Amino acid sequence: MSHFTKISFIFLLMLGTLNAQKADMFDGPYIDSVKDSFRIRWIQSGVPKDSTVHSKTAGVFSNFGLPEVDLSKLEIFEEKEWEFPTVEKFVVLGDPHGQYDKVKDLLAINKVIDSLGNWSFGNNHLVVMGDYFGRGDKVLETLWLLFKLEQQAVAANGHVHILLGNHDIMTLDKDLRYLNKKYLYTSGAFKTEYPQLFSENSVLGKWLRSKNIAITIDDFLFIHGGFSMDLVHANLDIEQINELGKKSIFQKLSKEAKYSDTENLLLGDSGPFWYRGYSDSTYITESIIDSVLAFNNVQHVVVGHTIMKEIKHKYDGKLIFVDCGLFDGNQGELLKYSDGELSKLTHKGDKKKILKSDKPKKTTIFDYIYNLDPSASLSINADLGRIIKTKLKEEYQVGSLQIKSQDRTLDFGGKIRARGNMRKQVCYLPPVKFNLNKEDLSKNNLKSAEKLKLVFPCRNNGSNQEKLNQEYFIYTLYQLLDSNAMRAKLIDVNIQKEGDKKPESFKAICVEDEVAYSIRKNTQLLPEKGVITSKVLDRPSFLRMYFFQYMIANTDWSIGNRHNVLITRFIDEKKIVALPYDFDYSGFVNQTYAVPHESVPIEKVTERHFMPYGITEKEFNEVIEFYNSKKEDLLKHCQTPTYLTARQIKENISFIEDFYNDIKNPKSVKSRLKIE
């Protein structure tokens, strides 16, 4: 494995011993999780310290000359996503290399953090391009600062993205050629191989191993070294690269483990950590950059690794270099994106515009399908039998999608798998999710919201098709009540089953997923971590949704568990809303497999029941008034669907009228509510 020469630790231990104790030596803290306790090691005035504290009684680690660490806030925020399509503002920091003072000053003067080193960038994003180790002597100070900022950003609905670079991989894999001599002293003082201080049991070691190698924000790709054509030819997308890193490569570091050919590609000269081809003018061309951009369906690639005295770009901003050589005496710069404009920020707080993006906005694949004429259809080429056989495992398989309309036919490669909770267990035809090739999306000027959710009828017969059509109708019904409602499209689908001459044909619901929604409505997806209660939601929107669920007799949803509701933040209006989806367990649909959860005091899903959320007397009166104002519209809409039978239309009208007969008696309704 290139670049990973193993250094003799006997030499390191000897060096630590020979250095003796130094009064000006401070390092740490290095914190390990040991069962229900934390083991904390640090160097203070040259003296090694080793202490253990119970996690339940842990307070703040605070010692002169060392980073302050709140031991009660050591939760690891694993970055599970790598695509962030709706970020309006972000800042990028090049390779820190242990230059804590410069990093802190640079972030503070440009108002990413305040004078005390706390997050002050709101719901915006900070990207750090990797290389925390090597050369500089304040690695721990830098890591603990970023660790704290990540948690504070999450609390503010912002985000700190910690990417990994070649020096980070080197250090974790026992290659210490560029490590500052201070850390050789630490290794000797603790009589421990330095990488073991960042083992999988350590807080910072586990944290670093949970991070991504590459991410995209809007139309920008961020990667430490670069995305080479070797990765393109190997058909390695960002999702695969990040998964290989977290699930395999990072787990093998510092161990005597063999790497696969793909892993060696990622760790080699043309991999994302070491690649320097972008700075080679004899090799790199705009057409090569265009190929990389098309493969990842982005318009810019941002890299660190290669030192420039200032932020530079090539090919009208398609390629941007952000490593300003902090360890090399430079004060550094930040790259900033805001309102479509790229700027660089200096250590003095000056701002210089680089370029403004005037490229046309792309739409999402869902938006494209949603706006097709009624005669449009989807054709899926995949092994339906295998999807059905492996539906509980949700295994991806190769598949392709063709979209036919009156105007044109679009073809997309990709992969497909089963999805869903109960449906995949009880239905012969499970719902599916497509991940479409970004290169195919790029060709058709579509955004990298490549995931497409389709819900099929439980079985391909008339009664199950009618149930699915009924569920689709609920999406359209809610749109009358909330202009921010999620959308769905009922569309003809053909899917080929291996061994059959003719494809299976039926109507399916194409459901707008959270990414497509956030792009359309300019909303911000909330982190998976953290508890959400109904109290933080926009109340008018929540109450309309609350009574809508009651109207259609649906108890299969939860705010706290984020079950069958999309919870998202409207950036401009500064409000958080909950939007319903997946209505197969509602009494309005009355699926054959639908039964109430054991915690709900009803016997059949057709019975209405208010879920236990608080509501004031004033709110109750307002929401009743709202629904009374919508009665005529709702009943009229029930008469319009051509895809429902006359019998179903009659039943729908009756179901809605029954709701209105119910709310005619406010006293009775209140008795079933939690009035505050």
Answer yes or no: is 531 within a domain. Answer: yes
Are 381 and 440 found together in one domain? yes
Are 51 and 80 found together in one domain? yes
Report the pLDDT value the prediction gives residue 600, as an integer from 0 to 100.
93
- The pLDDT confidence band at residue 503, using thresholds 50, 70 and 90, is confident
In 437-582 the beta strands, taken as DSSP E runs, fall at 451-455, 488-496, 504-511, 523-525, 565-570, 575-580
Work out how many domains the chain is built from and give that number: 3
Are 400 and 536 found together in one domain? no
Answer yes or no: is 318 within a domain. Answer: no
640: left (phi over 0), alpha (psi -120 to 50) or beta: alpha
CB 583 within 8 A of CB 589: yes
pLDDT in tens, 179-227: 999 999 999 999 999 999 999 999 999 999 999 999 999 899 999 999 9
Are 137 and 165 found together in one domain? yes
Are 512 and 603 found together in one domain? no
Answer yes or no: is 345 within a domain. Answer: no
Task: Provide the 3-class DSSP secondary structure of residue 242.
Answer: helix
Share of the chain above pLDDT 70, in %: 95
d(CA 197, CA 41): 9
Report the pLDDT value the prediction gives residue 675, as an integer from 0 to 100.
83
Mean pLDDT for the stretch of residues 317-346: 93
Are 261 and 287 found together in one domain? yes
pLDDT in tens, 88-137: 899 999 999 999 999 999 999 999 999 999 999 999 999 999 999 988 99
Are 512 and 490 found together in one domain? yes
Closest CA to 319 of 286, 282, 270, 291: 286
Are 533 and 500 found together in one domain? no
Among residues 455, 488, 516, which one ends one of the domains? Answer: 516
Residue 11 has pLDDT above 70, yes or no: no
Residue 256 has pLDDT above 90, yes or no: no
Among residues 255, 273, 296, which one ends one of the domains? Answer: 296
Share of the chain above pLDDT 90, in %: 79
d(CA 37, CA 670): 49
CB 657 within 8 A of CB 635: yes
Closest CA to 596 of 553, 566, 625, 559: 553
Answer yes or no: is 359 within a domain. Answer: no
Answer yes or no: is 124 within a domain. Answer: yes
How many C-beta atoms lie closer than 10 Å to residue 205's C-beta?
A: 23
Are 506 and 543 found together in one domain? no
The pTM of this model reads: 0.86
- The pLDDT confidence band at residue 13, using thresholds 50, 70 and 90, is very low
Among residues 236, 269, 296, which one ends one of the domains? Answer: 296
- The pLDDT confidence band at residue 14, using thresholds 50, 70 and 90, is very low
Are 167 and 136 found together in one domain? yes
d(CA 307, CA 354): 18
CATH of the domain at 40: 3.60.21.10
Are 509 and 526 found together in one domain? no
d(CA 589, CA 469): 9
d(CA 647, CA 652): 9
Answer yes or no: is 352 within a domain. Answer: no
pLDDT in tens, 274-325: 999 998 888 899 999 999 999 999 999 999 999 999 999 999 999 999 999 9
What secondary structure, in 3-state letters, does 102-155 show? Answer: HHHHHHHHCCCECCCCCECCCCCEEEECCCCCCCCCCHHHHHHHHHHHHHHHHH
Answer yes or no: is 634 within a domain. Answer: yes
Are 492 and 527 found together in one domain? no
Full residue range of the structural domain in which residue 128 is found = 9-88+104-296
For 73, the token pair is: 């806030």
Residue 27 phi, psi (nearest 5): -160, 150
Q: Residue 315 has what DSSP assignment?
A: T
* Averaged confidence pLDDT in the chain: 92
For tokens 């939690």, what's the residue?
Answer: 674
Report the pLDDT value the prediction gives residue 654, as an integer from 0 to 100.
97
Report the pLDDT value the prediction gives residue 588, as an integer from 0 to 100.
98
Answer yes or no: is 305 within a domain. Answer: no
Strands across the sheet containing 312-314: 83-84, 214-217, 220-223, 300-303, 319-321, 312-314
